[in-house]
Amino acid sequence: MSNEPLLKGLKVLGVPFALERAPTDNFFSAPELGEHTEIILGELGYSWDPIGQLKGSGVIP
């Protein structure tokens, strides 16, 4: 999997209003496909060996 965003250069509208005390500089991109899969599986109780097997067999990216 490439680290290059799939929709690089896609222009979208910003928030059409501003809130007085809300920070406006802490926006993040959506995660890439599978970016958090290992972390989530770990939180669900999977150990690293089964996660590695799933990854090696192509079940997860």
Given a cut of 90, is residue 40 above it in pLDDT? yes
The closest of 41, 35, 23, 43 to 52, measured between CA atoms, is 41
pLDDT of residue 3: 58
Rounded mean pLDDT of 15-36? 78
- Phi–psi pair at 46, nearest 5 degrees: -75, 140
**In the chain, what are the domain boundaries?**
34-61
% residues pLDDT > 90 (the chain): 43
- Quick one: pLDDT band at residue 4, thresholds 50, 70, 90? low
Helices (H) and strands (E) in the chain, counts: 2, 0
